[in-house]
């Protein structure tokens, strides 16, 4: 019966007073104002002007990090090699509680880091005889032997002064030093950038492989952290330099700063799930008791329509129910 009474109290929309409103004029003014603001702000402040980080700039600026990363790609121990779907089956990927979301999605962009990032680029370019012999030796070795070589060379690089490959102690590293030294040459010449982008089409639009290789090293992360773009620096809402960033992503990046998200290996899935839940609450706001009463209790509408409420202090069929 209460429902019936509420319906009776709701006035018909035609009972409200009306006023003329030129919507087209309003829209034209808004477009002109935004256009002037856009051009004006661009003229005064310009835009971020950071040089892109490429495999070439990385390998030239930090050859030790490039070489160490190349060894992990060859040995299958890099972050990409161990990530799981959508690149490989080495792990389950991100899970939301018991739900293996990325396993369900499957391996949609298969990447074999040893072949795609190291061996194939070496084969695709004219090889010095030493590299041809090193490739043949690598291919002839067992997987166990390959792992021993890359593991030993990774350890030796870690112990060398500044990780410099030229200062690595003598040891049994098989063909690994020759392969990674040649890959470093390809990287520094810019050839590797083009090879990692090559898709067999006229236009190259898939940067996945180049970005993953870059992300496996520490150079790109160091550059990002310097600009406050790291995940634990609220980086999602920041921009390079002193430019304002994506302030509207504050809630999304906030979760990454607090527990349990901060230390979880499934943080991406957990944050996504939390934001999906909050978005659903926002979508269903009119149906949630308590939350849907906030506008009525805060009475902001009385501030907006203060002229009307000043002239009509007592409720009548033309006023909203309070």
Partner 1 sequence: MLTLPPLPARLLAAPIDLNGPGHYLHWGVIQISVANLVVIGLMLIAFVAAILLPFPRKRGRR
Q: Which stretch binds partner 1 (CB under 8 A): 52-60, 213-221, 276-284, 297-305?
A: 297-305
Task: Give the count of residues interacting with partner 1 (CB under 8 A).
Answer: 28
Which residues lie across from 99 on neighbouring strands?
96
Report the C-alpha gap between 304 and 306 in whole angstroms. 6
Q: Provide CB contacts within 8 A for 285, sequence distance 6+.
A: 291, 292
Q: Residue 96 in 3-state DSSP?
A: strand
Shortest CB 13 distance to partner 1, Å: 20
From the list 143, 169, 170, 258, which residue makes contact with partner 1 (rule: CB under 8 A)? 258
- State yes or no: residue 311 binds partner 1 (CB under 8 A): yes
Residues 6+ apart with CB under 8 A from 264: 270
Examine residue 38 and tell whether it contacts partner 1 (CB under 8 A): no
Instruction: Report CA Rg, the chain.
Output: 30
**CB 245 → partner 1: shortest distance, Å?**
6
Nearest to partner 1 of 185, 227 (CB atom): 227
Place of tokens 């003598």: 170
- The two tokens of residue 35 are 């256009």
Interface with partner 1 by CB under 8 A: which range of 27-35, 45-53, 103-111, 128-136? 45-53
Task: Output 214 or 237, the one with its CB closest to partner 1.
Answer: 237
Other C-beta atoms closer than 10 Å to the C-beta of 313 total 8
Contact 156, 173 (CB under 8 A): yes
Q: How far is the CB of 269 from partner 1 (least distance, A)?
A: 22
- Region from 71-79, 164-172, 175-183, 298-306 binding partner 1, contact rule CB under 8 A: 298-306
Q: Which positions lie near partner 1, rule CB under 8 A?
A: 43-46, 48-50, 227-228, 233-234, 237-245, 247, 257-258, 300, 303-304, 307, 311
């Amino acid at each position: 019966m209460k429902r019936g009474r509420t319906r009776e109290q709701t006035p018909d929309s035609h009972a409200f007073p009306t006023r003329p409103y030129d919507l087209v004029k309003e829209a034209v003014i808004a477009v002109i104002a935004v256009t002037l603001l856009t051009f004006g702000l661009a003229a005064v402040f310009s835009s971020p002007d950071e040089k892109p980080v490429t495999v070439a700039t990385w390998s030239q600026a930090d050859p030790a990090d490039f070489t160490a990363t190349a060894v992990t790609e060859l040995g299958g121990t890099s972050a990409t090699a161990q990530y799981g779907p959508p690149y490989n089956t080495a792990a389950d990927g991100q899970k939301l509680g018991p739900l293996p979301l990325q396993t369900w999605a499957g391996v949609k962009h298969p990447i074999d880091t040893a072949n795609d990032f190291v061996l194939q680029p070496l084969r695709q370019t004219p090889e010095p005889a030493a590299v041809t012999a090193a490739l043949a030796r690598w291919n002839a070795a067992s997987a166990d032997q390959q792992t021993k070589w890359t593991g030993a060379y990774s350890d030796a690089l870690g112990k060398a002064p500044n990780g410099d490959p030229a200062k690595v102690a003598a040891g049994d590293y098989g063909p690994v030093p020759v392969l990674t030294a040649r890959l470093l040459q390809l990287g520094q010449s810019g050839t590797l950038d083009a090879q990692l982008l090559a898709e067999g089409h006229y236009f190259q639009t898939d940067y996945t492989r180049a970005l993953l290789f870059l992300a496996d090293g520490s150079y790109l992360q160091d550059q990002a952290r310097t600009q406050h773009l790291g995940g634990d620096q609220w980086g999602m809402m920041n921009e390079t330099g002193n430019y304002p960033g994506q302030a509207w992503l504050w809630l999304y990046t906030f979760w990454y700063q607090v527990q349990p998200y901060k230390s979880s290996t499934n943080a991406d899935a957990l944050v996504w799930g939390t934001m999906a839940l909050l978005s659903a609450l926002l979508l269903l706001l009119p149906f949630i008791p308590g939350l849907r009463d906030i506008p009525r209790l805060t009475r902001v509408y009385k501030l907006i329509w203060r002229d009307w409420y000043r002239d009509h202090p007592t409720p009548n069929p033309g006023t909203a129910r309070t």
